[in-house]
Amino acid sequence: MKLPSEYRGGFESNGDSALFSVKWREFFNDPYLVGLIDSALANNFDMRIALKNIEIANRNLRINKSEYLPSVDANIGTVNKQYRSKDFYSSASSKWYDQKGEKAPESLFTYQSQFSSGLSFSWELDVWGRIANEGDILKADWLNTQETRNAVQTKLIADIASGYFNLLKLDAQIEVAKRNLSLNDSTLRMIKLQFDAGEITALALQQTESQRLLAASMIPELEKDIVIQENALRILIGEMPNAIERADSLSNTLVNFDEQNISLGSPLEIIRRRPDIKAAEYDVIAANADMNIQQIMRYPQLSLSGVFGVNSMLPKNWFNIPGALLGGIAGELTTPIFKNKKLKNIYEVAKIDREKEELNFQRTVMEAVSEVSNTITTVDKQKEQLDLSNQRVANSQLAVKNALLLFKSGYATYLEVITAQSNALKSELDLLEIKQKQLNSYVSLYRALGGGWD
């Protein structure tokens, strides 16, 4: 699969700009947000689980390294007494009864008596590299857990930043709602005076009151959303629900992103930083090693084993040296001959699994390039939206001012005043939404380009 030389929709940057690779502490300028992220990285449950998975992968790697060594077991003591009766196919242990000078009974005679201790070992010689390939799988799994942790951390940072920006947006929206409520109160007082003077109808008063109630009803709804968002952030940082300290305003200065001072680099340079790409690559490595193992299982296997210790029939002779000594060593070379084509089919399945992981890797790369291109376009176009939205707010505020002046002079109706105020409220709320989306688009680009782990 051939990667493009540049991203579609990329914005212009100067030739001396640095490759986009910043630490999250340098990317976010707000100290409250940085504090929240610090707490989350230490206390978030997903992060703690990811660290535990890394510990497990480390232990599995240690187990694999020890498989190159022989396995030694110690038999501290074994007592084996077996009894049989006359209908059994064999007779009693003659030596047992001869030593005691007794005649073996017909029922429940001592058939076998053993008292033993010793050491035994087994050692598989890794002639074809089975253990080495298993080590490759475990190493890939370990690296995969590292990338999973990086992915969890990047997502966690992005989720906290998005939640924090949403909280600031809600704060700003409440201020807009309260300001518009105050403006509606002023308008309603003027309408009441004109109604008392008989200049307008009750309908004008009722519609103005409805407009005021609409602005007032937004405040408790936003207050509810603020509490819910604060609780959600607390969960992300692993703490019980509580209020969140935060900045006073929603602005672009909350993130350190200047498109004139950065370079996105080529897709190949950036994609290598993404944890999902690396994880998919390690999955290919693991699948390839598994395929090798299944091929090796069709080859001859060589192993050594042995035992050394003491064994006696009577307890008193248990540790009688050299009379109770025993020892043995064996070498075994085995190879499968006919397994109903089971081994071959297992190998073919492993081969297909590797091909699947290769396709998954290619798809992940393609999706990553597309995601970066989408976020670049979003950042660029939302900048244009923000400029237009600022113009719209300025125009709607001027319209409210002119409508009130014309209404007082008798050149505008109450409907024009209400419409102007409604448009102003909506335009200000929309501006805050676009500001939040722009901040979130910076965070999305940071995440799409691989983030930073420090």
Residue 310, beta-bridge partner list? 117, 325
Query: What pLDDT score does 1 carry?
Result: 65
| 175-195 confidence digits (pLDDT tens) | 888 888 888 888 778 778 777
Comparing C-alpha atoms, which of 127, 138, 124 is closest to residue 68? 124
**φ, ψ at 9 (rounded to 5°):** 85, 15
Strand 262-263 relative to strand 109-125, pairing: unpaired
**Of the listed ranges 7-16, 25-34, 190-199, 376-385, the one predicted with least confidence:** 7-16
- In the chain, DSSP finds a helix count (H) and a strand count (E) of 10, 6
CA distance 354 to 133: 14
The pTM assigned to this predicted structure is 0.79
Q: Is the pLDDT of residue 161 over 90?
A: yes
CA angle 163, 167, 170 (to 5 degrees): 135
Confidence of residue 249 (pLDDT cuts 50, 70, 90): confident
Q: Any idea what the Cα angle at residue 63 is, between residues 139 and 351, rounded to 5°?
A: 45
The better pLDDT of the pair 348, 3 is held by 348
Rounded to whole angstroms, how far apart are CA atoms 181 and 189? 12
User: What's the pLDDT band for 264 if we cut at 50, 70, 90?
Assistant: low
- CA pair distance 232, 229, nearest whole angstrom: 5
3 state SS of 311: strand
pLDDT at 416: 83
Write out the H or E segment, with its range, that includes residue 114.
strand 109-125
Highest mean pLDDT among 76-90, 181-195, 259-273: 76-90
Answer whether 437's CB lies under 8 Å from 384's CB.
no
3-state secondary structure of 262: strand
Q: What is the pLDDT of residue 271?
A: 67
Within 10 Å of residue 233's Cβ, how many Cβ atoms? 23
311-336: pLDDT as tens digits: 888 888 888 888 888 899 998 888 88
Of 18-22, 121-125, 358-362, the range with the highest mean pLDDT is: 358-362
**Where do we find the tokens 């704060």?**
171
C-alpha 14/C-alpha 262 separation (Å) is 8
